[in-house]
Amino acid sequence: MNLVLNLLVGVQMLAALAMIGLILIQHGKGADMGAAFGSGSAGSLFGASGSANFLSRTTAVLAAVFFACTLLLAYFSHARPAGGGSLLERATVGAPAAPTSGAANEIPGAAAPNAPASAPAAPVSGAGQIPSK
Going by C-alpha positions, the residue among 67, 27, 64 that lies closest to residue 48 is 27
The answer to whether residue 12 scores a pLDDT higher than 70 is yes
- Domain limits of the chain? 1-23+45-81
86: pLDDT strictly greater than 60:
yes
pLDDT cut 70: percent of the chain above it: 47
Q: Quick check: 16 pLDDT over 90?
A: yes
- Give the pLDDT band (50/70/90) at residue 22: very high
Dihedrals phi, psi of 111, to nearest 5 degrees: -70, 150
Separation between Cα atoms, residue 89 and residue 86, nearest integer Å: 5
pTM for the whole thing? 0.48
Least confident window among 58-62, 81-85, 119-123, 126-130 = 81-85
